[in-house]
Structure 1
C-alpha cells in the first residue's frame, strides 16, 4: 500500500485507483455519477479514487493524501465532515428522515433560508440544481405563456434537462424542436440582449444566467462562437456596473422573468448570494452546492406571486413546480441550516475571499518567477478561482492542462480548479504554491520545446462537453 508521502514524490502511481476505475466503468456509465468527475478529466492513469476526506484534505484508496480544491464541484465550501454540519445531521438521523406529511423541519429550514436570502419571499427545496433551474424555467413559461428560454451563452452549465443539454455537443436523444426553443444572449452585453428580445418579441419567457460570470478557462457553450485564441484576462467575474440593473429593466420592459442561477454564487459571493451583494433582485433564483456542504439539497426561491402558482392558494391553473420524494429529507435540511449558521457566525464568505486572494497571489508570483506568467492564468472571484493553461501561442491547451495537473498530483495537490474551502490553512496554501512553482518549472521546459507531449505520459485530458467519447 502506498504511503502518505507517495503523492509528494517525483512520479505518482495509483494501482488501486486504476483497478477501481475499471470497476467503475464496468458498472457505471462514464465511470462516475457526474461527468466533471470522470477519469477523462485527469491525466491517464492518474485519476485518484477517494477513500475519505477531512477538512481540506482527501485520501485516495492507494493511501495518498492531497490538498483538495474545488471540493465536491464547489459544494463542500466548509471542508469535509465539518463538525457543526455533521452534528446537525446526526441529530436528525435517529428521528427519521422522510414522512408521509411535512416535517416541522421544513418550515424551520424555509424560515432560515428566507432570513438569509431576504430578497426572496418563498422557497421550495429539492435535491439537485437541475431540478431547481428546470422548475424555474417551467414556472416562467407558465406565467408568461411563452415558449422560448434565453440562456446566457457565456455560462457553461444550467441543467441536465432537455431545454439546456440539447444546446450542447451531447445532444443525442433530444428532439430538435425542443432545442430550437432555447436561444442565447452574451454576458455583459445589454444591446445584444435587447436585440434578441426584440427579434423574438413576445416569445421569450425568461432570461436565465449566473449573475456573475463563472470565468471558465475557455468558453464552453456551443451557443456562442468559439474564438481561436483566448487571452484569459485576470477577470474578477464581477458584472460591470449597471449590467444586472439593465437586465432587470429589460426583463420588465419585455415582460419576461429574470432568473439568477446562484448555484455557485450563492454563499460564495455573500450569504444572500450575488443578488444580495449587487443589490439587484431577480424574479426567481436557484441555490445549491454550498447550501448543504456536500449533502444533497438545493432550492428554488423567488417572488410570492410567481411561486404560489405552484401552490394551492391561487385561482388559476396549477403549475407542476416541484414534487420530489426526497426533496425534504430532514438530515439534508438540517445540514443546510447548519451551513447558514456557520456562514453567518464565522464570516465564512470573507474567509473564502481571503484564502483565495492569498492563493491567487502566490500562484501568479510562482508562475511569473518561472517565466510562465502569461501561460498559467488565474482568474475569477477570489472565492471561486479557476485557472487557464495556455500554449506557446497563448491559446487554451488541454495538453498543457494535462502536464500541469500531472505535476500538481505528483506534489499532493488535487486541483481541477483553485476553488477554495474555508478549511484550508496557511500551510496548505504555502504548500500548494510550492507545488505550483515546481509544476511551472516543467511547464517552462515544455514551452521551450514547443511540445508538451514528452511530459504527458498518455492522452490529454478532455473537455466535458464533446460529441464523441
Structure 2
C-alpha cells in the first residue's frame, strides 16, 4: 500500500463523485468537518476502503490517514476483532422489541471502565448523549441556563449549542439566550456567571482537557467544589477524550469526578455508539425508580442496536489486551518530534508547529507575519495530499506504524519546503492551486458578493 508519487496522483474520480454528492446531499457530506470545503480545491478524496492507518480513494491513491474518522478510530480501520464481533452480533439479530443481552454486557463493561459513574445509557451519537445530560441537569435543578466553555469548538447539533455558533440560522433567539459561556482554566469567569445569574445555572459543561489545553492545577477541582456549593450539575464532555486520554477518560487522568459525562467517538472504533453516564440519582430521573416527574431521557430505536454495543465490547477487550493509549502517545511523540524538527531545520518554527497531546495532535499554520492562516493551512494540506498523507490534523491511532510515521515526517519536510517559499514571498500566490479552506461552522457558504459602486 505504498502511495504513488506526486506525478501519478490524480483526483478525477473523487472530484466527479464529490460533484454528484453535492447534487444529492446538502453540503456534499454528512458531517461539516468532512466537507470538500475543508480540503484544497479539487483535492477532496472520496474514500473507497481503509485498512489500519491507511485509506484508498476512488482514484486508487493510498494515503496514510490522520484524524481517523474524526478521532473515532483508535485501533485502526477495519480492525479485525471489532469487525468480527459486529458481524457475529448482526448474525444473531440487530434490533428487538426488548433489551438484548448486549445491553447488559455493555453496561457492566462500561461502568467497570468508568468507576465514577453509577449508571449508563447508550445512544448512537454524541450530540444526543450531551443534550440528554443537559436535560437531566435542568430537570434535577429546576434551572434553565446552560454554561459552556466558549473556547471549545463543539458540543451538540441541538439548538442550545448551535445557537452559540455562526450557523445559528433557524434557531429562535429564546433558545440562544439560555446558553451562557465561560473561559477554560478561569474559575473567576465561572464565578462571575453564578453571580450574574443566581440560582439559574443548571449545568457547567466542558471538555476536561483538549488536544492543546490541559487543566491548570485546581481548575477542575474548583469546578467540582463550585458545583457542590451552588448546586449546578458538572458535566464533562468525554466524546473525544474518552479512550483517547485513558480508558476512563480525562476524568480518570485528572482525578475529578463529574456528575455526568458524555462519551462517543472511540467507544466503537468508528461504529456508531455513544453514552451518557453519571450519578444514580440524576440518571434515575429518566428511569422508573423515581418519585419525581420523569425526564424523557434517551429513547431511541437504534440506541441499543446490537452491532454498536458489540463493537464497544470488542474495543474494550482490545484495550485490556494492550495499552492502546500508550501506543498512540508513543507514536504521536515520534510524529510531533519529527515534524517540528523538519520545521526547525527550514527556519519555520514560528510559522508551523505540531502541538497538543500526543494522542490528539494538531498542526498550527501561520503566515509570513506569524498570524494563523487558512491560506497557509491549505497549502500545507495540498502538499501533504500530493505526498500521500491525508488529514486535517495529526490525530493518530494505535495502527500507525513506524513506517507510517516515517513516511509522514518525510512528507512534512517536503511540504514545508514549499511552505517556506510562501513565507519568503509573503503569499501563497502561484503555489496554492485553488481557494483556501474555510471554517466548517460559518454563517455563509461563500463570501457575499459586494456590489460594485453605482456610477452615473
TM-score in terms of structure 1 length: 0.94
Contact (CA 8 Å) 1:271, 1:344: kept in 2 or not?
no
Look up the match of 1:240. 216
Look up the match of 1:65. 62
Residue 133 in 1 paired to residue 130 in 2?
yes
Secondary structure of 2:338 counterpart: helix
User: For residues 329-368 of structure 1, what are the structure 2 equivalents within 5 Å?
Assistant: 329-368=305-344
Look up the match of 2:285. 309
In the TM superposition, structure 1's runs of 4+ consecutive aligned residues that sit over 4 Å from their partners are none
Give the distance between the partners of 1:460 and 1:166, measured in 2 at CA: 26
Q: Decide which of 75, 79, 82 is 2:79's aligned counterpart.
A: 82
Q: Decide which of 420, 424, 428 is 2:400's aligned counterpart.
A: 424
Superposed CA deviations along residues 252-295 of structure 1, whole A, max 9, x for unmatched, are 11110000000011011111001111110000000100000010
Deviation (angstroms), 1:4: 6.3
Give the distance between the partners of 2:409 and 2:309, measured in 1 at CA: 37
Superposed CA deviations along residues 195-241 of structure 1, whole A, max 9, x for unmatched, are 111111101100000000343xxxxxxxxxxxxxxxxxxxxx22111
Superposed CA deviations along residues 53-97 of structure 1, whole A, max 9, x for unmatched, are 000000000000000001110001110011111111111111000
Look up the match of 1:383. 359
With 453-462 and 170-179 compared, the bigger mean Cα shift is at: 453-462
Contact (CA 8 Å) 1:283, 1:303: kept in 2 or not?
yes
Look up the match of 2:448. none
Residue 399 in 1 paired to residue 375 in 2?
yes
Look up the match of 1:450. 426
Give the distance between the partners of 1:140 and 1:427, measured in 2 at CA: 47
Give the distance between the partners of 1:101 and 1:19, measured in 2 at CA: 45
Secondary structure of 1:170 counterpart: coil
Give the distance between the partners of 2:216 and 2:389, measured in 1 at CA: 34
Contact (CA 8 Å) 2:18, 2:46: kept in 1 or not?
yes
User: For residues 195-274 of structure 1, what are the structure 2 equivalents within 5 Å?
Assistant: 195-215=192-212, 237-274=213-250
Look up the match of 2:46. 49
Deviation (angstroms), 1:246: 0.6
The runs of 5 or more residues in structure 2 that have no matched partner are 446-456
Q: Decide which of 16, 20, 23 is 1:23's aligned counterpart.
A: 20
Look up the match of 1:92. 89
Superposed CA deviations along residues 444-468 of structure 1, whole A, max 9, x for unmatched, are 1100000112111110011111111
The runs of 5 or more residues in structure 1 that have no matched partner are 216-236
Contact (CA 8 Å) 1:133, 1:261: kept in 2 or not?
yes
Q: Decide which of 154, 160, 165 is 1:163's aligned counterpart.
A: 160
Structural RMSD (CA):
1.1
Give the distance between the partners of 2:193 and 2:7, measured in 1 at CA: 53
Look up the match of 2:451. none
Contact (CA 8 Å) 1:51, 1:60: kept in 2 or not?
yes
Look up the match of 2:454. none
Superposed CA deviations along residues 169-211 of structure 1, whole A, max 9, x for unmatched, are 1000000110011000000001111111111110110000000
Superposed CA deviations along residues 149-172 of structure 1, whole A, max 9, x for unmatched, are 000001000000000001101000
TM-score in terms of structure 2 length: 0.96
Look up the match of 2:453. none
